[in-house]
């Protein structure tokens, strides 16, 4: 089982690329999605998330690469990772190995941590800036 997590606000090609790469690492992909309250605590901006949690979960669940979506309300997915015990933990390469929540746990039970290269110029923040004319 493969696990990844994120906000997935305003789904874009960078998200899809990450999820497809994650799914290629195993037989099933579980995606943890931050709840609206969790996103607000992350400090992404007062107007975030743009898309409510249930809609973000529905959009991600509709992708062929995704087998299961779980909303989590905590600030990090650590409790979820420990409960699921994935074989592979995937994050974008913008995260240093040391900054990946749950990496030590996953490697401790014999799993792997994979960092996926980002798609250039693809981010929700960048998309919002373009939409606002910035």
Rounded to an integer, what distance in angstroms lies between the CA atom of residue 134 and that of residue 127?
Answer: 10
Domain containing 117: what range? 2-131
Structural domain count of the chain: 1
Per-residue CA distances from 127 to 10, 49, 61, 134 (Å): 8, 13, 22, 10
Note whether 68 and 74 are within 8 A (CB).
no
pLDDT of 121 higher than 80: no
- By three-state DSSP, how is residue 49 classified? coil
- Grouping H, G, I as helix, E, B as strand and the rest as coil, residue 79 is helix
Q: What is the pTM of this model?
A: 0.90
Beta bridge partners of 92: 116
Percent of the chain scoring above 70 in pLDDT = 91
CATH code (residue 67): 3.40.50.620
Query: What pLDDT band is residue 106 in, cutting at 50, 70 and 90?
Result: very high
pLDDT band at 44 (very low <50, low <70, confident <90, very high): confident
């Amino acid at each position: 089982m493969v696990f990844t997590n994120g906000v997935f606000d305003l789904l874009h090609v960078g998200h899809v690329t990450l999820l497809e790469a994650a799914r290629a690492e195993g037989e099933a992909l579980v995606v943890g999605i931050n709840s609206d309250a969790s996103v607000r605590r992350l400090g992404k901006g007062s107007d975030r998330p743009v898309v409510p949690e249930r809609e973000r979960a529905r959009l991600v669940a509709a992708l062929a690469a995704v087998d299961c979506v779980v909303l989590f309300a905590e600030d990090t997915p650590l409790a979820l990772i420990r409960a699921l015990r994935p074989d592979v933990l995937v994050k974008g390469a913008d995260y240093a190995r040391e900054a990946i929540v749950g990496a030590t746990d996953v490697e401790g039970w014999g799993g792997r941590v994979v960092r996926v290269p980002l798609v250039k110029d693809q981010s929700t923040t960048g998309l919002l800036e373009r939409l606002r004319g910035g």
